[in-house]
Chains A and B, each alone.
Chain A
Amino acid sequence: MMAVLDENGPEPATPHADPRGNPLLRTQFVIPARPATFLRRERLDEHLDEALLTPLTVVDGAAGAGKTLLVADWAAARDRRVAWLTARLAGKGCGTFWAYLLQALRLADVTLSGDIGTPAEPGHVDDALLTRLAGELSARDAPVVVAIDDYDQATDPEIADQLDFVLQQAGRGMRLILVTRTEPLLPLHRYRAADAITEIKNAELAFTPREAADLLTLHGLRLPDDDIGALVNRTQGWAAGLRLCALAARGEGDPRTYLKGFEADRTTIADYLLAEVLKRQPPQTQDLLLRLSILERFSPELADALTGRTDAGLILTGLHRENAFVEYLGHGWFRFHPLFAEILRAHLRVCRPRLEPELHRRAAHWLRRSGSLDETLGHAAAADDWESAADALVDDLAIGEIFTGLRTDALSELFSRMGPEPTTPATDLVRAARHLAQCDVERGLGRLKRAERALTRQSGSSEDDGPGLAAARLSCALLEVTAARLTGSPGRAEAAARTAERLSSEVPGRRLEEHPELMALLVTHLGSARLWAGRFQDARAALTTVADSGRTAPTAHLREECLGHLALIDYLNGWAARAERKASAVAAAAGRCGPPAAPGPGLASLVLAAVAVDRNELDRAEAHLDAAADARHPLPDPLARAVHALVTGRVLLARGDTRAALEAADRAAGADVTSPWAAAHTTAVAAAAHLADGRPEMAVKLLAEEPEGEPVCLVGAVRAELAVGRTGAAIELLERVRPQGHAGPAITVRTALARAQVAGEVGDVATQRRLVARALEEARRERLRSPFLEAGPWLRALLRTVPLRGLAEGWLVPGPPSPGHPEPVQERPPLPVVQELSGRERDVLRRLAEMMSTEEIAADLYVSVNTVKTHIKSAYRKLAVNRRQDAVRRARELGLL
């Protein structure tokens, strides 16, 4: 089968100008065609057949040793299809590599379930994905043969480990053949010791005199044995050397004399022979060969664009017919043998030193018209023609790929070489996108504004309101929404999203379909901005469209991000368990398997932390908080920073560190527009800290400043008013808590407890019990412990009474000792209701445990004996004990000491 160039599938760029990211190219998966002059060698084919007996086969040899053709010929002759992958372009990052390898397997009719997934980042692939792949391969009846050509180009060191892992796990289901110039980094010693490897090395690939004679005959050259022997000696049986010899000698009247000259010459072989071969070509052909050396592959039309002539078709067909160094890929496309291309490039630099940038420029221009973005970018960058590169990217609606998908690394590296010039709208858009991708909003907005101004001028001055301008404006709108989200400006996000909506009908629909990430990014950011504004319904509508979209690679990350946002909405509405399910689904989607692993950086981890706080699982909450913001992934936007601040504040509050909690709540600021719920929650944390520190008036004052309606503030205010003894005010506040149909247990439980506390204050014990019972019932399902811990000491006595005790036992307070099982082993000992001890009370308790007397403690802490007694009394009360030994024991049980 010949290589196919389909019209949507751009072709690979040259290796030295490769933007690294390419869509999955069909030519990567095609077994290369053998030239007419290919010589099949039985001894090597037989050795390769042994490849089926060992899991791993390595064919390694020098450039031009004939490795690829050998394996390609062997593979093509097999009954079953071999999964073929050329790693030349695929192997730069392990994510890209595995994306290509999965595709290669599918193209070889290996049935793989969709559950395996696709890597979403160029430089990362999840272990779970590899485990699933190996699992499916190991279940096969017959092994799939996977051949990876140019394996030495797969430079990411993780690839070797991952291949080793999959090969081991897949067992009999997979046979791997690596064609490479250098020994692969797999643990070959282990394979050798286990006799699990077949190796074909340079010496074995070398042509014997007999084979050399056959090869030369195929090239139309017959020589006596002596001469063959001398030639094999000089070339050391190197396939490329022999072929070049045949080419060079064929034009000579007396090949034998010519070859004698070659044998005597001491120039390096390829160097000498290639110069000879080149010298023999007519000037137009020489010129063509030199110019084409900058291309990884070429069609006659592209070649004509580089020469400015029209003879490329004829010349290339002729060259292909007469030698193996111009290879035909099918559908009108050719390429040079890599060795030949390398040497030609050296010649180009010597003969036409200043031509290279111009050639790249012309190639970029031609390729852009033919719709091949990757190659266009590669050549435009090589020509230092950033205007064209940026234009191509923006025109293609591919600017979203700077933020997400397999090409992010490639594009970021490519455009990192762009200097401050030129300043066209497109280059500024690319610069803005790169700044925003690094969350550098200020510089990003600067570039974006400049691009917008230029675009406004353009649309006024000319009639060119065509799709090109629409694409640039749509890109603008995307960046605008991105910036609006990063600065917390919902209004700007909405306006830009409306503009984008209008523009999306003015750009070619096909382009939009090719770049699903563009609209997905826009909608994700819009949803995030709406959530920040507290418009949960509208936010949910936007986020759901992305979260429900398919799991394609370019939008996989966005889907997770949207799920994280949806989880946050659930949490804020009081549905802790729902929020947890969604946030955990992000972990599952990301493939980072096995609970209790966190989904990694991002909002989903923050939501899990928040849910853990509601359950008073503080260590877990802290672990999730740590996972949410590591050094590599700083929290991107005000929303994530606000959630991080308030969850941190609540953890600190639960640990009794009120001062740090106040500081954490203080850090939440920093957005263009204040978020109502973020402000309310932050105030609630601060108020709770003041209340715990005995400053209820301060709490009342803070909460009074918040706009009404947020349950979290009302509940806090009720407790604060009760603490200052204004029962009437508390009752008044309670009446303002409106029953909200969509509120979940985390809200309703807290409200019920606040009502219960008020009922207790006015002496309505029956109502109080009924409310506490309802709160316990609702909270039990979701194990919401912290509302009860926050409620205060009044609750403790109640929980010891029947029937409330029964409702609380087992999850909130320790369960009854059951006969026969005196010590039920529980993973997480249930936390009893204890009001946090103050720092001073702890100090005193610690000294009590050291058997110090009250006087000694007073002396040690530089306080009066009476103060110590006050602290001890207060600690007894909080621990619900009456004696010193009980206090120490209880404190130990609770891990307070």
Chain B
Amino acid sequence: MRYEIRVDGQMTETLAKAFPELDHVIMSGQTLLFGPVVDEAQLYGLLARCQSLGLHVLEMRQMPE
């Protein structure tokens, strides 16, 4: 499974390191985290990490392979 998570605001390179398993790209006022997700447990783990870092998740979706 591949997922992308769109969060509000531009993440700094430092903060993006908190998601070493994902790639990221910064666009106007938002950051897109994307990459392979092993299972649902990891997905919820990623969401919880967003929350712990005070990030607002705007959108999350599974990407076509």
Task: Give the interface of A toward B (CB within 8 A).
Answer: 62-64, 152, 181-182, 238, 240-241, 266-272, 275, 338-339, 342-343, 345-347, 349-350
Tell whether, in the assembled complex, residue A267 and residue B54 are in contact, meaning their CB atoms are under 8 Å apart. no
Tell whether, in the assembled complex, residue B13 and residue A240 are in contact, meaning their CB atoms are under 8 Å apart. no
Pick from B10, B20, B53: contact of A266, CB below 8 A.
B10
Nearest B residue to A275 via CB reads: B12
Tell whether, in the assembled complex, residue A267 and residue B52 are in contact, meaning their CB atoms are under 8 Å apart. no
Tell whether, in the assembled complex, residue A270 and residue B54 are in contact, meaning their CB atoms are under 8 Å apart. yes
A87 to chain B, nearest CB (A): 14
A796 to chain B, nearest CB (A): 66
Q: In the assembled complex, which residues on chain B have CB atoms less than 8 Å from the CB atom of A63?
A: 51-54
| Contact sample, A vs B, 21 pairs, CB 8 Å cutoff | A63-B54, A181-B51, A238-B54, A240-B54, A241-B54, A266-B28, A267-B12, A268-B7, A268-B8, A268-B15, A269-B9, A269-B54, A271-B54, A338-B52, A339-B53, A339-B54, A343-B15, A343-B18, A346-B18, A347-B14, A350-B14
Tell whether, in the assembled complex, residue B12 and residue A271 are in contact, meaning their CB atoms are under 8 Å apart. yes
Pick from A182, A270, A345, A350: contact of B13, CB below 8 A.
A350
In the complex, A477 Cα to B16 Cα: how many Å? Answer: 51
Pick from A152, A343, A350: contact of B53, CB below 8 A.
A343
Tell whether, in the assembled complex, residue A266 and residue B9 are in contact, meaning their CB atoms are under 8 Å apart. yes
Tell whether, in the assembled complex, residue B51 and residue A267 are in contact, meaning their CB atoms are under 8 Å apart. no
Interface residues of B in 13-65 (CB under 8 A from A): 13-15, 17-18, 20, 28-29, 31, 48-49, 51-56
Q: Is B5 engaged at the interface, CB distance under 8 Å to the other chain?
A: no
In the complex, A184 Cα to B36 Cα: how many Å? Answer: 28
In the complex, A816 Cα to B23 Cα: how many Å? Answer: 86
Tell whether, in the assembled complex, residue B52 and residue A342 are in contact, meaning their CB atoms are under 8 Å apart. yes
Q: In the assembled complex, which residues on chain B have CB atoms less than 8 Å from the CB atom of A346?
A: 14-15, 17-18, 53
Tell whether, in the assembled complex, residue A350 and residue B17 are in contact, meaning their CB atoms are under 8 Å apart. yes
Tell whether, in the assembled complex, residue A345 and residue B18 are in contact, meaning their CB atoms are under 8 Å apart. yes
Q: In the assembled complex, which residues on chain A have CB atoms less than 8 Å from the CB atom of B13?
A: 350
Pick from A62, A64, A241, A271: contact of B11, CB below 8 A.
A271
Nearest B residue to A266 via CB reads: B29
In the complex, A240 Cα to B56 Cα: how many Å? Answer: 14
In the complex, A339 Cα to B15 Cα: how many Å? Answer: 12
In the complex, A579 Cα to B19 Cα: how many Å? Answer: 60
Q: In the assembled complex, which residues on chain B have CB atoms less than 8 Å from the CB atom of A241?
A: 54
B20 to chain A, nearest CB (A): 8
| 10 nearest CB pairs, A to B | A268-B9, A270-B54, A346-B18, A271-B15, A266-B29, A342-B52, A350-B14, A267-B10, A350-B17, A266-B10
Interface band, chain B: 20 to 34
Known A-B contacts: A182-B51, A266-B29. Give 8 more (CB < 8 A).
Answer: A63-B51, A63-B54, A241-B54, A268-B9, A268-B56, A270-B53, A271-B54, A342-B53
In the complex, A362 Cα to B21 Cα: how many Å? Answer: 27
A34 to chain B, nearest CB (A): 21
Tell whether, in the assembled complex, residue B11 and residue A268 are in contact, meaning their CB atoms are under 8 Å apart. yes
B50 to chain A, nearest CB (A): 10
A68 to chain B, nearest CB (A): 14
Tell whether, in the assembled complex, residue A272 and residue B12 are in contact, meaning their CB atoms are under 8 Å apart. yes
In the complex, A238 Cα to B56 Cα: how many Å? Answer: 11
Pick from B10, B48, B54: contact of A64, CB below 8 A.
B54
Tell whether, in the assembled complex, residue A271 and residue B51 are in contact, meaning their CB atoms are under 8 Å apart. no
Interface centre among A275, A346, A350 (most CB of B within 10 A): A346
Pick from B9, B48, B49: contact of A271, CB below 8 A.
B9
Q: In the assembled complex, which residues on chain A have CB atoms less than 8 Å from the CB atom of B15?
A: 268, 271, 343, 346
Interface centre among A267, A268, A339 (most CB of B within 10 A): A268
A90 to chain B, nearest CB (A): 18
Pick from B7, B12, B18, B29: contact of A342, CB below 8 A.
B18
Nearest A residue to B47 via CB reads: A182
B40 to chain A, nearest CB (A): 14
Q: In the assembled complex, which residues on chain B have CB atoms less than 8 Å from the CB atom of A272?
A: 9, 12
Interface centre among A62, A181, A241, A275 (most CB of B within 10 A): A62
Pick from B17, B51, B54: contact of A268, CB below 8 A.
B54
Tell whether, in the assembled complex, residue B14 and residue A275 are in contact, meaning their CB atoms are under 8 Å apart. yes
A269 to chain B, nearest CB (A): 6
Tell whether, in the assembled complex, residue B11 and residue A267 are in contact, meaning their CB atoms are under 8 Å apart. yes
Tell whether, in the assembled complex, residue B52 and residue A339 are in contact, meaning their CB atoms are under 8 Å apart. yes
A408 to chain B, nearest CB (A): 23
In the complex, A343 Cα to B55 Cα: how many Å? Answer: 11
Q: In the assembled complex, which residues on chain A have CB atoms less than 8 Å from the CB atom of B28?
A: 266
Tell whether, in the assembled complex, residue B9 and residue A267 are in contact, meaning their CB atoms are under 8 Å apart. yes
In the complex, A152 Cα to B8 Cα: how many Å? Answer: 23
A632 to chain B, nearest CB (A): 22
Tell whether, in the assembled complex, residue A62 and residue B18 are in contact, meaning their CB atoms are under 8 Å apart. no
Tell whether, in the assembled complex, residue A349 and residue B17 are in contact, meaning their CB atoms are under 8 Å apart. yes
Q: In the assembled complex, which residues on chain A have CB atoms less than 8 Å from the CB atom of B11?
A: 267-268, 271
Q: In the assembled complex, which residues on chain A have CB atoms less than 8 Å from the CB atom of B20?
A: 349
Q: In the assembled complex, which residues on chain B have CB atoms less than 8 Å from the CB atom of A347?
A: 14
A234 to chain B, nearest CB (A): 10
Nearest A residue to B55 via CB reads: A268
A595 to chain B, nearest CB (A): 40
A181 to chain B, nearest CB (A): 6
In the complex, A64 Cα to B15 Cα: how many Å? Answer: 17
Q: In the assembled complex, which residues on chain B have CB atoms less than 8 Å from the CB atom of A266?
A: 9-10, 28-29
A308 to chain B, nearest CB (A): 24
Nearest A residue to B8 via CB reads: A268
In the complex, A275 Cα to B54 Cα: how many Å? Answer: 14
A36 to chain B, nearest CB (A): 23
Tell whether, in the assembled complex, residue A268 and residue B10 are in contact, meaning their CB atoms are under 8 Å apart. yes
In the complex, A64 Cα to B53 Cα: how many Å? Answer: 9
In the complex, A269 Cα to B9 Cα: how many Å? Answer: 7
In the complex, A236 Cα to B17 Cα: how many Å? Answer: 25
Q: In the assembled complex, which residues on chain B have CB atoms less than 8 Å from the CB atom of A238?
A: 54
Tell whether, in the assembled complex, residue B9 and residue A62 are in contact, meaning their CB atoms are under 8 Å apart. no
B17 to chain A, nearest CB (A): 5
Q: In the assembled complex, which residues on chain B have CB atoms less than 8 Å from the CB atom of A269?
A: 9, 54
Q: In the assembled complex, which residues on chain B have CB atoms less than 8 Å from the CB atom of A350?
A: 13-14, 17
Nearest A residue to B30 via CB reads: A266
In the complex, A181 Cα to B52 Cα: how many Å? Answer: 9
Q: In the assembled complex, which residues on chain A have CB atoms less than 8 Å from the CB atom of B17?
A: 346, 349-350
In the complex, A268 Cα to B11 Cα: how many Å? Answer: 6
In the complex, A345 Cα to B20 Cα: how many Å? Answer: 13
Q: In the assembled complex, which residues on chain B have CB atoms less than 8 Å from the CB atom of A275?
A: 12, 14
In the complex, A775 Cα to B17 Cα: how many Å? Answer: 82
Q: In the assembled complex, which residues on chain A have CB atoms less than 8 Å from the CB atom of B18?
A: 342-343, 345-346, 349
Interface centre among B15, B28, B31, B49 (most CB of A within 10 A): B15
